[in-house]
Amino acid sequence: MASFATNCKLADTVIRGLLKYWPITNSSIEVMFLSELEEVLEATQPPEFQRRMVPLFRQIASCLSSSHFQVAERALFLWNNDHIDNLIKQNRKVILPIIFPALERNTKTHWNQAVQSLTLNVRKIFSEVDPQLFEECSRKFKEDESKKEESKSKREATWKRLEEVAAQRSGGGHEPVMPQKVIANHVSSSG
């Protein structure tokens, strides 16, 4: 990263490379990538940051949601860096909607207390900097969760109806019901 410090124009290329080769199954390497990312972002100017912030924060949102506490914690530590925190605040209208669901889920369901606490701190930063945007993201998150729950309920009801129809056609027993077309094909190929 020494040559990177002398040429911050490389930020776009380095960030793109980090995102392209981001480890999916190795959490210790993912923590290392987050550390490298912090170094790169430390030397990144706003125009370079803005070019890569959407895919970058989709990946960071994924890290925030990680069940591996070191990955989530390391991602949350990015807000401890003043330069990165300022870049995020300047671009919060794009970034917060991307990461808000991960932040919300962490506060409610992450198993690690330190991750929950750090997440609450990051949420507080956003709610103080732009309360209106924070409330808008919160409202949208609740709507999306409600739609997911509604869709899940409909799916479960559909399966329940299918099971009832199958049970009626089979005479109430638990044996599987073969559709008539499959039975007809089986009979004609056997004879």
Averaged pLDDT in 10-residue chunks for the chain of 191 residues: 58 92 94 97 94 97 96 98 97 98 96 97 97 98 95 95 90 58 51 50
Locate all alpha helices (DSSP H) within 7-130, ordered by sequence: 11-20, 27-42, 46-64, 69-76, 82-90, 92-109, 113-129
Locate the domains of the chain by residue range: 2-129, 146-191
The reported pLDDT for the residue numbered 100 is 98
CATH class of this structure's domain 2-129: mainly alpha
The reported pLDDT for the residue numbered 43 is 92
pTM of the model: 0.79
Q: Could you give the angle at the alpha carbon of 104 between the alpha carbons of 112 and 88, nearest 5°?
A: 100
Q: Distance from CA of residue 187 to its chain's centroid?
A: 50
Residue among 132, 137, 131, 128 at smallest CA distance from 102: 137
Give the dihedral sign, CA 114/135/97/12. Answer: negative
The reported pLDDT for the residue numbered 172 is 60
The reported pLDDT for the residue numbered 170 is 84
Residue among 139, 126, 128 at smallest CA distance from 94: 126
